[in-house]
Structure 1
C-alpha cells in the first residue's frame, strides 16, 4: 500500500466511516488516480491535471472530485471516499455477490467492489462517462466489472443481482432495481428536504417497500423519471440571492450550536414534518441553511444551528411559527437521529415509469 493510499485510509477512519479490514484493504489496493486521468475541478473552479503541483495529494484527500461539468454544473464525479465507505458497509457484500451499480462515475466505486470479490455491472446514462470508466478500470488492472451505457431506471433487464447501489441522487426507487436485486438491499440516495440522505431499501417491485436511513449526503441529481415530482416532494433548494431579507423571529436556544451531523438530524425531521423543508443561502451565513420555503420561493423561515429562527417574506410570521414548532417537536422527541426513522415507500411519479418514494415515517 502506498503512503498516499495509507493516508487516505487513515483519513477515512478519522472521519468516522466504518472500515472493516476488507474495506480498508480495498481502499489501499485501488489507485484512485487511475480514475481521474482527465483531471478534476478544484474547489476554486480551476482544473487539476495529472502531473500538476499537488495533484496526487488532492486525489488522496477524503473529498469529492468533480470530473465532468456541463453548463457550469457538475454531472459526474468520484464521490467522497468516506461516504463511499459508509455506503459500501451498508451494502454488506460478500465475495461472489453480483452487484448492480447505477451511475458508473469514474469507475472507482466499482473497482472497490471488485476488490471486495464481487461481480459488478455498472450502468451509466452518459456514454462518454461509461467509456472513461471502462478505460480507467482496464488501466487500473481491475477485473470483474462490466460497464454498460444505458438507462439507469431500467437497470439490466432480464438479469439478477444480489445487491444494488446507486451513486446519483434520485426522488425514488425504480421497481426494476427491486426486481433485479434480491435479497437486496438497494443502497440509494433519495431526495429529502433538498438533500439526498442515503437509504437502505428492501422490498419487492410490487411492494411493500421499506427503508432505513444510512447517512446524510448531497449527491448530484439524476434525470428523467428517477427525479419525478410526487405528493411528498420538497421544494428545490433556493438559489443564492433569491431568499428575501430575513430578520430574527426567535432567538438562539442552544449555547453551543449543533454540530453538522446533529443539525442534519434536525433537518431530516423537518423534512418529515414539513413538505416545505429544503435549504437556501441566507445572507451573512457561510453555509446553506435549513429553510421552510414559502410558495413564492423567495420567503419563509430558516432554522440555524443555534436554534434561532429567521423569517422573511409576505408570510414570515406563519412560517416562523412553523419553524419554531418543528424545533420544539424535535426537542420533545429527544432529538432523534435520522437513523431512528423507519420509512414506508409508496409507488408514485410518472405512470409510465413509476418510482417507490418515501411516504410514511415512524420513530423507533
Structure 2
C-alpha cells in the first residue's frame, strides 16, 4: 500500500518553495484528506469518475503529483451518463498553489477572504500561516461547501469559516480584509472585492481574457482603486458568474461562410504559441476568443468571426479579427516582446485599464 505521508514528503522535495512558511504549510496539511474518494479524470476526451477504492495507489500518486490538478466536480454536479464535459470544481496542482501563496505576502494575523473554497485545501494552507479563525472562504456550490467544511474539520482546521455565497460579491459583513485571494479565474475584478480590502491590502486573482486563459493579477488597494502588475501565468476554471464560451454558433453559418472575405494570411499564428505574446494580444483583444482546431485557427467576437488555414484567411462581420490579431502581434514585437510580468492592471469603479510599464499610458480593457 502506498504511504501517503511518504508521497507528501517526495512532493515537497520536488517543489520549489519560495519561503519557509509555504513549505511548512505544505508538509503540515494532509492534502489527501481534502481529495474525495471519487474524482474525475479525462478518458477519450470525456471526464469519467475514478474511484480510490478501485486503484488506491494510482489515486494516491494523483493526489501528490506536484504538477497535477484534480477535478472533483464536473458539470456543476450533474454530468451526463456518458461522462462529464466541463470541470466545475477541483483541487489545484501543488505547484500553482505554492506560487500563489507566496505572492500573497501573508503575515501571521492577517485576515483573509478566499473566493472559492473548493475542497478546503487552500484554506487549510492559509490557516497554517494566519490562524484558522482569520480565514473566511466562500463557495457558491452548496454541495462543494459542505464537503470543504467537513474536510477542514477532519483535518483539524474547523476554525476556518466556510460560507455558501456568491464569491463575486465578497463578504461585506467581516470586511475589511488584509488579503483577498481567488481560486477561480475572472475576466474582470468584481468591485466589491476592492471595497472590502483595506488600503494597502492585496487582491490576488487568476485573470483571463477571452483570447488568453492564463494570468495572475496581483493588485494593491489604495486611493479608491486596485492596481498592480501581473505576477504569473496560471490557468484556473472561471468563477460561475463569468463563465463564457465562444459565440461561434451565433455568428457562423453556411451563409456567413459564403459571404466571408477571403485573403492571403498576413499572420504567423505560430507567434501565439509564445505565452507572453498570447497574453499581450489578449490584453489588446480581450473580447475576442481564439482557438486552434484541426490544423486551422478560429477567432470569434460578438458579431464577427475569422478562420485561417493553409495560408488563407476567411473573415466575416464588421471586424477583421485575423487582421486585428496580426496588428496586435506586430505591436507586441515593436514593443520589444515584453513578458507577461511587464503588464499591469488598474481597477476603479469606472472599469478596468491595462498598461505596459507605465500606468499613465493605460488603455481600456474590452468587456468579454
After TM superposition, the score normalised by the length of structure 2 is: 0.77
The structure whose Rg is larger is 2
Structure 1, 275-284 or 70-79: larger mean CA deviation: 275-284
CA 1:310 to 1:3, structure 2 compared with 1: closer, same or farther past 3 Å? farther
- 1:199 corresponds to: 217
CA 1:247 to 1:79, structure 2 compared with 1: closer, same or farther past 3 Å? farther
CA 1:222 to 1:177, structure 2 compared with 1: closer, same or farther past 3 Å? same
Q: Output one character per residue of 1:20-74: Cα deviation in whole Å (capped at 9) or x when no partner.
A: 1221221122211111124211122222222332110011112111111124322
1:212 aligns with 2:229: yes
Q: Output one character per residue of 1:281-306: Cα deviation in whole Å (capped at 9) or x when no partner.
A: 32137xxx7x643555542459xxxx
- 1:56 corresponds to: 60
Maintained 8 Å contact 1:213/1:341: yes
Which of 293, 296, 300 is the matching residue for 2:300? Answer: 293
Larger proportion of helix: 2
**Alignment coverage as a number of residue pairs:** 328
Q: RMSD value over aligned CA atoms? A: 3.3
Give the Cα–Cα distance (whole angstroms) in 2 for the partners of residues 335 and 311 of structure 1.
25
CA 1:341 to 1:100, structure 2 compared with 1: closer, same or farther past 3 Å? same
Which of 355, 359, 363 is the matching residue for 2:353? Answer: 359
1:111 aligns with 2:129: no
CA 1:197 to 1:310, structure 2 compared with 1: closer, same or farther past 3 Å? farther
Consecutive unaligned residues of structure 2, counting only runs of 5 or more, are 80-84, 359-368
Consecutive unaligned residues of structure 1, counting only runs of 5 or more, are 229-234, 303-307, 349-356
- 1:35 corresponds to: 34
Q: Output one character per residue of 1:225-274: Cα deviation in whole Å (capped at 9) or x when no partner.
A: xx39xxxxxx844679x798999724759xxx7796xx221011112223
1:161 aligns with 2:168: no
CA 1:247 to 1:80, structure 2 compared with 1: closer, same or farther past 3 Å? farther
The 5 Å alignment of 1:244-283 reads 249-250=265-266, 263-283=274-294
Q: Helix, strand or coil for the counterpart of 1:4?
A: helix
Maintained 8 Å contact 2:306/2:313: yes
The 5 Å alignment of 1:165-176 reads 165-176=181-192
The 5 Å alignment of 1:92-107 reads 92-107=105-120
- 1:82 corresponds to: 95
Maintained 8 Å contact 1:237/1:280: no
